[in-house]
Amino acid sequence: MARVDKSMGLKACEELCFRNCSCTGYTSADVNGTGRGCITWDGELIDTSLFLHGGQDLYIRVDAAELAQYSKKSKSFDHKRLVTIVASIAAMLFILPLVYWLAMKRRKGKTGRNKLPIRCTSSPFYQVPSRGNEINESGTNSDLQFFDLSTIVAATDFSLINKLGQGGFGMVYKVVNACLSIPLSGHA
């Protein structure tokens, strides 16, 4: 059943509805634009109107236990969302470093496969000319030592990390193989 009181404002209408246990809803009946008018419902909401444009707010009273039930569901939804977000972030924090580590391991594995084996023997790593005293083009004896290219690559890897400097004869590399102790220049 709906009741109309044109002398009350919205605040007084709210108080009237809250004092009446059978009140199920209330609204403003401000037809003239004066801010006055109150409609309250007891029992079922009947005699309501549907406006296509505009309209007024309808305030519905809900049992506190029923309201608490719906508010708990929304909190559990937020809890589930929070758990999902935290689990996703934790998984990403685990997976991204793992992928990075595997990529770095794979990259190191590829460069390691391209390296030539290092020869550590008691024999010299350089080739001495087979003929006794060779004479170079200028007619003088050359004491230049000849190194095998694979030995130089294995010893220096021609890496910028192993580069000591650069002089008139080319770049000078640090020997990274413990078996070699001869400084090598970039020219072979």
Is 187 found in the same domain as 120?
A: yes
Q: Considering the domain boundaries, does residue 134 fall inside one? A: no
- Residue 138's Cβ-count burial label (10 Å; 0-12, 13-18, 19+) is exposed
Beta bridge partners of 60: 25
SS3 34: coil
Domain count, the chain: 2
> Nearest CA to 126 among 149, 156, 148, 152?
148
Q: Considering the domain boundaries, does residue 31 fall inside one? A: yes
Is 120 found in the same domain as 54?
A: no
- The tokens of 149 are what? 């290219």
Q: Considering the domain boundaries, does residue 49 fall inside one? A: yes
pLDDT tens across 17-29, in order?
999 988 999 988 8
What pTM does this model have? 0.36
Q: Distance from first CA to last CA of the chain, Å, rounded?
A: 107
SS3 102: helix
- pLDDT of 175 > 80? The answer is no
Distances in Å between the Cα of 182 and the Cα atoms of 23, 129, 134, 139, 179 are 101, 18, 23, 27, 10
pLDDT tens across 94-141, in order?
999 999 999 998 887 765 544 545 455 544 544 444 555 556 666 666
- The parent domain of residue 6 ranges over 2-63
Percentages (nearest 5) of helix, strand, coil residues in the chain: 40, 20, 45
